Amino acid sequence: MIKLTIRQARQFMLLKHGLLGEYRFIGKQGILDFVRQASCLQYDPIDVCGKNAELVLQSRVKGFTKEMLEELLYQDRRLVDYPDKNLAIIPVEDWPYFERYRRAARQHAEHYPDMQALTEQVRTHIQNHGAISSDDIKLDVDFSWRSAIHWSGGNNASRSVLEQMYSTGELIIEHKKGTRKYYDIAEKYIQANVLNAPEPLPSELEHQKWRVLRRIGAVGLLWNRASDAWLNIWGLKSAERNEVFRQLSIEAKVAAVTVEGMKDILYCRTEDLPLIEAILKDPKLQFRCELIAPLDNMIWDRKLINELFGFDYTWEIYTPVHKRKFGHYVLPLLYGESFIGRVEVIAERKTRQLVVKNIWYEKGVKPTKKLQTALDDCFKRFAKFNGCETISL
């Protein structure tokens, strides 16, 4: 059993994510390296000051630009949009592991008698015209549908059929324009040996073990209890999760960690033990100041973050205005080894101005000159990331 102080646990989490010390992830290769470590980036289309996946990367990857992610997704095809932890971006080599979800989507289509003919109509249109959005083809039919594998549905027939074909893997997102998705035939973009690979883990238990291990790696430290970190792992109820953790422990793929002041045992991947060994040597680490995405991998389990960092964060975008404590789109503010507050920031793209609407510091945080210098540098980098030329505080 590994024993850590609360500070050591924090340092491990932050170093694992490349948020403390020198940048570990650099440029386009750094994006790939982090996404492979994180297993997926949760996708959200809302763009107040960058979309969620972009916000995750800008805090970790030195020199990151939005164009780099676009290239990896839609030119290099090293990454692909597909549901994982909700809607997500995953490494293209992980495509075969989600075949059970595509198969479920194909079976789900059998409940919609009109789907086969509509699918054939869309397939023919794409073969003749190339990538399309739901606005590019009108299906004159009264058709209501709900996805089997992700969070979409409705009575827009064109969008429903495109998203069904995306769910089965016949189509992929060829590119996005703003929030609008353009679909094309998957085999044009994903290599045949990946696209048509058999499912590597046909056993439900083995698949759950693979998913859980990825999620532990995505967060750094996780406990065996109900958590948003397990979202969209089908069938992973308490009994199944207990068996997964039991087997991963027997196979020495995870290591148990106790943290001072915490009653729950945490787990890390055994491949991360060298990082824990480095932390135990009490290294001197360079502090950074970063704005963290609202759906950032490290804070997928808000209760865990509250226990480890003493930081209680709620994304209030869907909270009624009169019930909000802070604001519409508020980002956690990290400085060194602590979450020191939260910031509401807006990228005004017409004027190319980054507006820092408000900063709420945590209790006991003193805005020293050193902190102010780090914060100014953080806002300058964040403005550049958003294509803004000026900053309004």
User: Could you read off the pLDDT of 215-249 as tens digits, one per residue?
Assistant: 999 999 999 999 999 999 999 999 999 999 999 99
The owner of tokens 């630009």 is 65
Determine the Cα–Cα distance for residues 331 and 205; give it in Å rounded to an integer.
36
Q: What pLDDT is stored for residue 144 in this prediction? A: 87
Q: What pLDDT is stored for residue 386 in this prediction? A: 98
Q: Which helix (H) or strand (E) holds 267?
A: strand 266-269
Q: What pLDDT is stored for residue 353 in this prediction? A: 98
Closest CA to 13 of 69, 21, 213: 21
Dihedral of CA 375/376/379/381: which sign? negative
Q: What pLDDT is stored for residue 143 in this prediction? A: 83
Q: Concatenated DSSP letters for 31-89?
A: HHHHHHHHS-EE-----SSS-HHHHHHHTTEET--HHHHHHHHHTS-SEEE--BSBSEE
Q: Which residues does 186 contact at the CB level (< 8 Å), separation at least 6?
A: 169, 170, 171, 172, 195
**Residues of the chain predicted below pLDDT 50:** none
Determine the Cα–Cα distance for residues 330 and 292; give it in Å rounded to an integer.
10
Through-space distance between the first and last CA atoms of the chain, rounded to whole angstroms: 48
Q: Tell me how many degrees the CA angle 40-43-47 measures, rounded to the nearest 5.
A: 145
3 exposure class (CB count in 10 Å sphere: 0-12, 13-18, 19+)? exposed
Q: Which residues does 372 contact at the CB level (< 8 Å), separation at least 6?
A: none
Residue pair 165/119 in contact (Cβ under 8 Å)? The answer is yes
Task: Say whether 146 sits in a helix, a strand or coil.
Answer: strand
Q: At what angle do helices 204-219 and 27-38 cross, to 10 degrees?
A: 130
Backbone angles phi, psi at 136, to 5 degrees: -90, -5
263 exposure class (CB count in 10 Å sphere: 0-12, 13-18, 19+)? exposed
Q: What pLDDT is stored for residue 258 in this prediction? A: 98
Residue pair 175/131 in contact (Cβ under 8 Å)? The answer is yes
Token reading at 4: 């850590």
Token reading at 382: 């964040």
Q: What pLDDT is stored for residue 152 in this prediction? A: 86
Determine the Cα–Cα distance for residues 228 and 244; give it in Å rounded to an integer.
17
- CA atoms within 13 Å, Cβ hemisphere of 213: 22
Token reading at 132: 């399309």
Q: Tell me how many degrees the CA angle 177-346-40 measures, rounded to the nearest 5.
A: 55
- CA atoms within 13 Å, Cβ hemisphere of 159: 12
Residue pair 297/90 in contact (Cβ under 8 Å)? The answer is no
